[in-house]
Structure 1
Amino acid sequence: MFDDMDEIATDYDSRIRQARESRGMSQEELAKSLNEKASLIRKLERGDIMPPDSVRKKLERKLDISLVEGASDDDSEWSGGGSTKTTLGDVVKRKD
């Protein structure tokens, strides 16, 4: 059930703050652009609360960052194998 949950990075607060500041945005401007309250941005940047998934995704898109532990910058989904052609027969073991 929890296998596909993303683990929020321990330094999510500084990632948000640094990305916002590097874009020259105030907390209020960022909040307005995300349609969220400035108090939420303040709490996130202080590390008082963890970002809910909906807010995390908006922050990642707007600031072009990843707030997930161990995620790459492009944060691309697994594509299912890429260039190797693995079939079901390659991975299933028969019990005869």
Structure 2
Amino acid sequence: MKGNVLYCEMCGRPIYGKAYRVYIEGAEMVLCESCFRSVKAKVAPLPKKERKAAPKPKTKKVVEYVVVEDYAERVRKARERLGLSRRELGMKVGEHETVIKRIELGRLEPDLELARKLERVLGVELVKKVEYEESEAPKFQGPAELTLGDVAVLRKE
């Protein structure tokens, strides 16, 4: 039973009966009843920790331009409608005939610059605007105060 006895942190006597846990100038102490009565006027209320609201995830609008999925069919139909050969279309947009052939077969997706050139020459829509919101996960911010437990290194015996 000796191991379970509490001692007053102010006077050092063993505490028999009720022990009082108080905060004096920010330090938590266990006191006996007589010390508790004598320092009652000096006991400060428990300091409340300020809680910061969790930061809201930041969202930003992202606008991208992408080539439509059925670009191959649109390019081929528009070229045939205008009566152009692959070579003639290639010359108008500054590309080789083989590039136009690969685009029409769906083996090569044109970059945005080439897609815009093809749009102007053929009069079809190949680029569409895509808008979406991208959010960043809030970064974890640890506790604002260091405690003894954060710094102390304990030895195991």
Higher Rg = 2
Change beyond 3 A, Cα 1:2–1:57: farther
Q: Cα RMSD over matched residues?
A: 2.2
Could you say which structure has the higher helix fraction?
A: 1
Change beyond 3 A, Cα 1:5–1:70: closer
Which amino acid counterpart does residue 63 of structure 2 have in structure 1? D
Deviations 1:37-58 (A, max 9, x none): 1111001000001101111010
Which amino acid counterpart does residue 49 of structure 1 have in structure 2? L
Which residue number corresponds to residue 5 of structure 1?
64
Could you say which structure has the higher strand fraction?
A: 2
Q: Is residue 2:105 matched to residue 1:46?
A: yes
Which amino acid counterpart does residue 74 of structure 2 have in structure 1? R
Partners of 2:92 and 2:98 lie apart in 1 by: 14
- Give the match's secondary structure for 1:5: strand
Structure 2 gap ranges (5+): 1-59, 131-157
Change beyond 3 A, Cα 1:42–1:65: same
Alignment of 1:46-65 (within 5 A): 46-65=105-124
Alignment of 1:14-93 (within 5 A): 14-69=73-128
Which residue number corresponds to residue 75 of structure 1?
none
Partners of 1:27 and 1:68 lie apart in 2 by: 21
Asked if 1 retains the 8 angstrom alpha-carbon contact of 2:63 and 2:129, the reply is no
TM-score, reference length from structure 1: 0.66
Structure 1 gap ranges (5+): 72-96
Structure 1 segments, 4+ long, off by >6 Å, are none
- Give the match's secondary structure for 1:6: strand
Paired-residue identity, %? 32
Deviations 1:17-47 (A, max 9, x none): 0000000000001001111111110010000
Partners of 1:47 and 1:34 lie apart in 2 by: 18
- Give the match's secondary structure for 1:7: strand
